[in-house]
Every structure is written in C-alpha cells, then in structure tokens.
Amino acid sequence: MTVDSTAARKPRRSSKRAGAKKAAGESELVQLLTPEGERVEHPDYSIDLSPEELRGLYRDMVLTRRFDAEATTLQRQGELGLWASLLGQEAAQIGSGRATRDDDYVFPTYREHGVAWCRGVDPTNLLGMFRGVNHGGWDPNENNFHLYTIVIGSQALHATGYAMGVAKDGADSAVIAYFGDGASSQGDVAEAFTFAAVYNAPVVFFCQNNQWAISEPTERQTRVPLYQRAQGYGFPGVRVDGNDVLAVLAVTKAALDRARTGEGPMLVEAFTYRMGAHTTSDDPTRYRRDEERELWEAKDPILRLRAHLEKQGLADEAFFASLETESDALAKRVRDTVRSMPDPDHMAMFEHTYADGHTLVDEERAQFVAYQASFAEESK
Ligand SMILES: Cc1ncc(C[n+]2csc(CCOP(=O)(O)OP(=O)(O)O)c2C)c(N)n1
Ligand SMILES: [Mg+2]
C-alpha cells in the first residue's frame, strides 16, 4: 500500500518539532482519529488517505483480530500449546506495519501478528512454534521479518546491530524494533538505546505500551512517560494514540523516514491496552479489574475506524458483509492448516544441540529411547 503522508514528506520538520515538545515535558498523545471516529488534525503529523486505503487498514485490522481469536480458540481446543493474543493492539500493529517499506527490516516480539500480516508472512506460519512443531516457521529474509523473539528486549539489540550494518552498507532502508512496556526495563533495551544514539543508527524503537507486563502495571516500570526516556539518550521520543491506526501510521512513517535520511533513531510509544490475557496461560482477573478493560473497549481501534468509515459514507454494507465472509474463510484455512501440521520426529531434538555431538546429549537420547520403549511394554 502506498500512503500519502504529509508528515512523511516533511520528516525533518515534523520530528524536530515533536522532539522540542518532548523536551518541554509535555505528555501529548498524537491523535488523528478520536474514539468516536472523528478526524482531528495535529500540528506535527498529518495524513491523507484515499477511501480505498482507509478500507484497507480496516480490513487488515479485522482479519488480524479474527486470526488472533481463532488462534486463541485453537489453544483452548488443545491444538496449540500457548497463544499470545494481540487483542486491542491491532491499530498499533497495522499502523506501524503498513508504515514500513519492503526493504526495511522488522524485529518483532512474540505478539506481532498484525505486523507479520502487513509484512506478508502467512498467518498460519506463525502457529507452528505455538503448536510445538518447529522453532520459527518462516524465512526471516523472505519478508525482512525476523523470527519471533521471546527473550524480552533482546531484539532491540539485534535491530540496532542490524541498523548499524545498514548504515555501513550505505543503504537507505530503516529498521524497526518492537518491544513492550515491560521490556523497556531490560538492560538490553538500555544498551540498544545507547548504541543506536551514539552510532546514529537508522532504527525506530516501537514500544507498545499495553500497560501490563504479565501482571505488572506500567507504574512498576517507570516514573515518567516511556517516550520521555529517549531524551536522556539523545534522540526524540513521541507518544501516539496506539488505538488510532491513522496516527500510528503517520508517526511511524515519519520516524522511519527520519531514520532513512540519516537523522538517527527515534522512540515511538504507542499508548494502547492489552484487552486480553498476557497469554492463554494467564488469568488477568487475578490482578486487574474488569472496569479497566471496559474503559478501553470504548476506545476499540476497529470500532473507531468503522465509525469513521460509516459516518463519512466511505464503506457500504456490501463491504462489511464481504469482509465477514473473508474472515470466515481465513479462520477455516487457519484451523485446517494447523490440524494438518505434521508432528516432528521426536528424536530430532537431540540432533541440533551440538555440531559434533555431546556425551550428555547421548545419555539423554538413550534415556528418552528407554522411556518411549516403556510405553510399548505397557501396551503388551
Ligand atoms: C529476559 C526475559 N525475562 C523474563 C521473561 C518472561 N516474560 C515473558 S513476557 C514478559 C512480560 C513482557 O511484558 P511487555 O514487555 O510489556 O510485553 P507484553 O507481553 O505486554 O506485550 C515476561 C517478564 C522473558 N521472556 N524474557
Ligand atoms: Mg506490556
């Protein structure tokens, strides 16, 4: 999708002014679409999308949410071992994902299903690891989309190193590193910020502040709004309404263009909310109140764009109906594909630990063979 963004056309002016505001300590939220679906303007970031592009963003968010819901259900049915839902974070992911160019490189966490969708990774490929049948599921270099990273914050370092390489190559692409509010407390993220700043690396740090790190609220991570942390490292930070797909798209595009033109890193804090559990192994009723979620349901990223499309007469009933049919087809394809994923050979896990083998691995392999054989004995 090509996006005509005024902010993107004038990256220098936009980002510098955003930086100046931050220095004054304002915790302003960049917003271009209110929760009621009204378009509003922002002095530093603006965007002008065609009706088709707006419907495209809506379609991306709806299909991503449907895929995510299907994966959660598959976990409940025992088809996946675990699932990390992105419910509520669709705008943060689709807006930023659609801001990237094909030659940019993306380093995700384990929750970036919407970004993967934008990069062209088939959603079914995301499920193999969660089913336990492979260690990844896609070739990172096919779509410039790195494998999911579960070691919190480590991908910020990988992204920064990669971006330093991009700069050395003289390429004009950019790199984007995704991480959460909890990850922002990790040493790896602090080190990545330092290196990126000092080497002026073309990397955008995209923090989805969904306000929870499993059961820890953001108040346990920081005393200042997260985007303000960037100032101490010497690069600009901006807080964007993470449930506003237009604002996220405009801000991320400006940040990526800024990186591309040699102006260095930028921190984008997408202020959003994790509407579901941390993963299917988590029970958020143990640590947060239902009212909090209800408050955020009123800011739902999909409903606000739908309200805008309807109010402006940019989409008709036929569009919404055909999207429903497309969602059903996607869900069916996801179910069928997951159920037909072949189980890996159980012995394969011993094969790739050491290049030349190891006595401990040999011992464990023998134990496992004996363990499996014990079932055969029992069934006699
Ligand atoms: C280095 C490391 N420490 C701890 C964990 C366990 N862990 C998994 S997810 C998570 C919380 C992450 O929260 P946040 O960064 O806000 O991302 P979110 O899950 O909210 O998207 C933790 C502590 C881990 N995976 N890696
Ligand atoms: Mg979080």
Instruction: Pick from 214, 280, 287 the residue to mutate for probing ligand 1's pocket: most ligand atoms within 8 Å of its CB.
Output: 214
Grouping H, G, I as helix, E, B as strand and the rest as coil, residue 173 is coil
Measured CA to CA, the distance from residue 181 to residue 262 in angstroms comes to: 27
Instruction: Pick from 86, 150, 152, 181 the residue to mutate for probing ligand 1's pocket: most ligand atoms within 8 Å of its CB.
Output: 152
> Is 270 within 8 Å of 243 (Cβ atoms)?
no
> Tens digit of pLDDT for each residue in 304-357?
999 999 999 999 999 999 999 999 999 999 999 999 999 999 898 898 889 899
**Which atom in ligand 1 lies closest to the alpha carbon of residue 188?**
1
> Tens digit of pLDDT for each residue in 145-201?
999 999 999 999 999 999 999 999 999 999 999 999 999 999 999 999 999 999 999
> Tens digit of pLDDT for each residue in 228-243?
999 999 999 999 999 9
Specify the pTM.
0.91
Please determine, for residue 25, whether its predicted confidence score (pLDDT) is greater than 60: no
Residues 6 or more apart in contact with residue 284 via CB below 8 angstroms: 212, 215, 276, 277, 278
Please determine, for residue 10, whether its predicted confidence score (pLDDT) is greater than 70: no
Q: Write down the pLDDT at residue 346.
A: 87
> Tens digit of pLDDT for each residue in 236-281?
999 999 999 999 999 999 999 999 999 999 999 999 999 999 999 9
Please determine, for residue 24, whether its predicted confidence score (pLDDT) is greater than 90: no
Nearest Cα neighbor of 335 from 60, 43, 42, 76 is: 76
Which residue has its alpha carbon closest to ligand 1 atom 7? 152
Q: Write down the pLDDT at residue 376.
A: 80
Q: Write down the pLDDT at residue 26.
A: 43
Residues 6 or more apart in contact with residue 96 via CB below 8 angstroms: 115, 176, 178, 206, 248, 249, 252, 268, 270
Distance in Å, CA 269 to ligand 1 centroid: 17
Q: Write down the pLDDT at residue 155.
A: 98
For 118, 176, 225, 235, 236, the CA distances from 267, given in Å and listed in that order, are 21, 10, 12, 8, 6
Distance in Å, CA 241 to ligand 2 centroid: 15
Please determine, for residue 85, whether its predicted confidence score (pLDDT) is greater than 80: yes
